[in-house]
Structure 1
Amino acid sequence: MQIAMIEGATRIIGKDQGFKGLPLRDELINTDVTGDGTPSMVSAWTPTPAELARLVAGASVHLRIIGTVHPPVAVDVGMPPADR
């Protein structure tokens, strides 16, 4: 997957740690566990042509967390790019 610029990005993290830099959009969400106004961060990723072909063929999406503690996460599919 390739890092994409998410619409409405509010910051970019990771550059000062030597990573490429990940654009994030900070949002408040409502969850059954933590309630209304829960802080969250959303990033966007674009599959390469090879990854897209594997997804179409039924492959799953894998989420890799760096470290040993797994934070709460959610994986979703964004909207297609708007025609320009």
Structure 2
Amino acid sequence: MNRVQHPSNNDVLGAPTGWDQAELPCGALPITRTNVGDLPAVVSYWRPDAEELAALNSGGAVRLWVVGATMPPVMLDVEIA
């Protein structure tokens, strides 16, 4: 998936302090800082390439990877244009 700039983006996340770029590169991620109810949230936008879109249309699944030993609360959805 390719991260994409979205009109609502209002910040950019970089690699965490001390991140080893040689071990696993981590680029800048445009984000939108917002709220879900009273909870702060961060949203990033992603677009599948042609190969990924074909795989999804053939029944493939979206995978969410989180680096670390646990999974924080996350959400996945689709922006409907």
What CA RMSD, in Å, does the superposition of the two structures yield over aligned residues?
Answer: 1.6
Deviations for 1:30-70, whole angstroms, at most 9, x for unmatched residues? 2xxxxxx1100000001010000001111111000011121
Deviations for 1:4-36, whole angstroms, at most 9, x for unmatched residues? 112211111025755221111011112xxxxxx
Identity of aligned residues (%): 30
TM-score calculated relative to the size of structure 2: 0.81
For structure 1, the 5+ residue unaligned runs are 31-36
| 1:27 corresponds to 2:28 | no
Count of aligned pairs: 74
| 1:8 corresponds to 2:8 | yes
Q: How does 1:5-84 map to 2 (within 5 A)?
A: 5-14=5-14, 18=21, 19-30=26-37, 37-80=38-81
Which structure 1 residue ranges, 4+ long, deviate > 3 Å from structure 2? 15-18
TM-score calculated relative to the size of structure 1: 0.78
